[in-house]
Amino acid sequence: MNERPLILVSNDDGYRAKGINSLARVLMEFGDVVVVAPHIGRSGKGCAITSEVPVKVEKVHSEPGLEIYSCTGTPCDCVKLACHAVVSRPPTLVVGGINHGDNSSVNAHYSGTMGVVLEGCMKGIPSVAFSLCSHDPDADFTPTYDVIRKVVSAVLEHGLPKGSCLNVNFPDSPSYSGVRICRQAVGSWVNEWEAHRHPRGGEWWWLTGEYVVEDDDEAADRVALGNNFVAITPTKIDFTDYTLLESMKGWEL
Amino acid sequence: MNERPLILVSNDDGYRAKGINSLARVLMEFGDVVVVAPHIGRSGKGCAITSEVPVKVEKVHSEPGLEIYSCTGTPCDCVKLACHAVVSRPPTLVVGGINHGDNSSVNAHYSGTMGVVLEGCMKGIPSVAFSLCSHDPDADFTPTYDVIRKVVSAVLEHGLPKGSCLNVNFPDSPSYSGVRICRQAVGSWVNEWEAHRHPRGGEWWWLTGEYVVEDDDEAADRVALGNNFVAITPTKIDFTDYTLLESMKGWEL
């Protein structure tokens, strides 16, 4: 019987990205790693799933302790299909990343990396997302490794409550001021669109924008990142607003 | 000065769907309605946004009190682009639906209708999603109208707390046992994939599956729907797990 943990890894930057390949190497210290990740970049796909076309998965690499599969689906699809048709035993852990870019604050809702981890969590598997606040395709991920090792060790030791996962974001820095357990920062996107003329006429819009932090609490993930802390935001599948639930009982409906 | 509320409407079934056109007619009783909805079905797109291609929006219908625009983006894109480039004043309300299909429980994470409403909420606009538990393209939406009117009136009167929105689901029934304020039910999807051979060889997977309720609490939205109640689930942008946050302070990191 194989006693090594099986660690399922995915992302939204695609299986060729430096971040996921860096992550896979670190995770091989803890168990057998199976990567099932999008065949192309699928950033900003959140928890999207694919129902309008079928999805293909194929093995692209194999060595002792590591298999890599390319999947035409979204990040969520990758986890769903990996669990259904790829892994030979239930994963011990689902890990997303290392994302090229910040997934703190409201970005958690748009993030395909968080899609991976929310999906793992919905399947009852302890799940952790790692993201680096740099979009550089050749970013240096080595400063993140020690914290990744500590977080993975801790999750393998403590587990995570059913329905909860971790969203870990790293500042773009060669060394960190520390690690902080955070809440999701309040913030929003502004100036989100840029108009362009099509060569044959007509206006098309590119999504762009600036993220504005509307929070100054040191316990808010985006604020902690700004202060050079690694931000770990425990995140729940259940996003019911229980306070509003109580107050709405007085509504006439 | 125009004192009528401006109500922005979108969905994930596309601007031609019966559900959104039924909804727009009801909402015209409350204000000027601007529909900006996907040009095709974009079900299951959650909070996905489009960054890899530009997005187009064009007017397809206009009459007093109602404008309809078709947009090539996701449901979230529709709200973002509507607010940036379509509406002439800030929307009073963002409304998603009426979705053809159940968006209760964990489905809220996959739902493009909830993507509409979470996006509206992130923009600080009171936002409400309506969904009917029927995938019939010709479903009868008339039983939902009275509750829609009551919910919209109540939200226009009370507002909603910043960062919170409503996820309203209707049972597929000609009349309801009542309206219940709910929490998100616990449940999961199983048997999610069906393998098909491509005519020229190779295996492709279609996403399908069965939803299993793992909850018997009458206050859980999927359970309330099963008992023929309209389920209103107040939902938060902030999905931090504050309980886990506290307990993680004891972790060695």
- Quote the pLDDT of residue A54: 97
* Nearest-angstrom CA–CA distance, B159 and B154: 8
Nearest chain A Cα to B13, which residue?
A: A52
Q: Once rounded to an integer, what is the mean pLDDT over residues B16-24?
A: 98
Q: Which residue of B has its CA nearest to A111?
A: B48
Residue B2, pLDDT score? 57
Q: Average pLDDT in the A218-236 region?
A: 98
Q: What is the mean pLDDT of residues B170-182?
A: 97
In a domain, B206, yes or no: no
Tokens matching residue A223: 């604020």
- Look at residues B7, B182, B211 and name the one whose alpha carbon lies nearest to residue B111: B211
Residue B252 neighbours by CB under 8 Å, 6+ apart: A150, A154
| Nearest neighbour of A181 by CB, restricted to B109, B161, B249 | B249
Residue A228 contacts B where some CB pair is shorter than 8 Å: no
Pick among B12, B47, B162 to test the A interface (most A CBs inside 10 A): B47
- Residues with Cβ < 8 Å from A94, sequence gap 6 or more? A7, A8, A9, A10, A79, A116, A117, A119, A120, A121, A123, A125, A126, A127, A128
Residue B207 DSSP code? E
Q: Indicate whether B142 belongs to any domain.
A: yes
Residue B143: pLDDT above 60?
Answer: yes
Residue A2 has pLDDT above 80, yes or no: no
Nearest to A207 among B55, B186, B196 (CB): B55
Cα separation of A211 and A209, whole Å? Answer: 7
Which range, of A12-21, B2-11, B120-129, averages the lowest pLDDT? Answer: B2-11
* Interatomic CA distance for residues A129 and A116, integer angstroms: 8
Q: What is the mean pLDDT of residues B21-33?
A: 98
Residues 6+ apart with CB under 8 A from B247: none
Rounded CA separation B48/B216 (Å): 31
pLDDT in tens, A159-209: 999 999 999 999 999 999 999 999 999 999 999 999 999 999 899 999 999
Determine the residue type at A162: K
- The sign of the torsion formed by the CA atoms of A220, A221, A227, A230 equals positive
Tokens representing A39 are 């065949």
Mean pLDDT value across residues A120-133 = 98
Q: Which pLDDT score is estimated for B3?
A: 78
Domain of residue B178: give its range: 6-184+218-248
pTM of the predicted model as reported, rounded to 2 decimal places = 0.96
Quote the tokens at residue A36. 């099932």
Does the pLDDT at position A89 exceed 80?
yes
A48 domain residue, yes or no: yes
| Chain A residues with CB-CB distance to B52 below 8 A | 41, 43
Res. A47: pLDDT tops 90: yes
Tell whether the model's pLDDT for residue A1 goes beyond 80.
Answer: no
What residues have CB less than 8 Å from B121, skipping those under 6 apart?
A: B94, B127, B160, B163, B164, B165, B237
Residue A221 sits in a domain of what CATH number? 3.40.1210.10
Is B194 inside a domain boundary? no
Cβ partners under 8 Å of residue A73, min gap 6: A38, A49, A50, A55, A57, A80, A81, B207
In a domain, A204, yes or no: no
pLDDT at B186: 97
CA distance A238 to A232: 18
Which among A103, A104, A110, A151 is the top mutation candidate for probing chain B, defined by the most B β-carbons within 10 Å of its own β-carbon?
A110
Q: Kindly state the tokens that stand for B224.
A: 């309330």
A145 interface with B at CB cutoff 8 Å: no
Residue A31: closest CA among A60, A61, A70, A64: A64
pLDDT tens-place string over residues B56-82: 999 999 999 999 999 999 999 999 999
Please report whether residue A147 resides in a domain.
Answer: yes
Tell whether B192 is covered by a domain: no
* Mean pLDDT value of segment B215-244: 97
Q: At how many degrees (to 10) do helices B18-27 and B145-158 cross? A: 50
CA distance A129 to A126: 11
- Exposed/middle/buried for B95, CB within 10 Å: 0-12, 13-18, 19+? buried
Contact B150 A253 (CB under 8 A): yes
The reply to whether B210 falls in a domain is no
Query: CA B229 from chain center: how many Å?
Result: 18
Identify whether the C-beta of residue B159 lies closer than 8 Å to the C-beta of residue A213.
Answer: no
Residue A250, pLDDT score? 85
Which sign does the torsion angle of CA B49, B55, B58, B60 carry? negative
Residues B212, B187 contacting (CB under 8 angstroms) = yes
**How far, in Å, CA of B128 to CA of A240, rounded?**
14
Closest in B49, B238, B253 to A151, CB measured: B253
pLDDT at residue number B249: 87
What is the C-alpha separation between B38 and B59, in angstroms, rounded? Answer: 12
> Looking at chain A, which residue has its C-alpha nearest residue B167?
A240
Q: Is B55 on the interface with A (CB under 8 A)?
A: yes
For residue B37, what pLDDT is reported?
Answer: 98
Phi-psi region of A238 (alpha: psi -120 to 50; beta: other; left: phi over 0): beta
Name the DSSP class of B147. Answer: H
**Residue A162 vs residues A109, A159, B25, B191, B244: alpha-carbon distances, Å:** 20, 9, 42, 20, 11
Average pLDDT over every residue of B97-101: 97
Average pLDDT over residues A63-90: 97
| Token pair 């999504």: residue | A207
Q: How far is CA B79 from CA B35, B70, B93, B132, in A?
A: 10, 12, 11, 21
- Judging contacts by C-beta atoms under 8 Å, the chain A residues touching residue B215 are none
d(CA A33, CA A64): 9
Q: For the beta carbon of residue A188, count every other beta carbon within 10 angstroms.
A: 17
* Number of domains, chain B: 1
Q: What is the mean pLDDT of residues B107-135?
A: 98
Interface contact B92, partner A, CB < 8 A: no
Peptide bond just before A49 cis, omega within 30 deg:
no
Q: What is the rounded CA–CA span in Å between residue B40 and residue B141? A: 20
CA B221 to chain centre: 15
Which tokens hold the place of A55?
């999805």
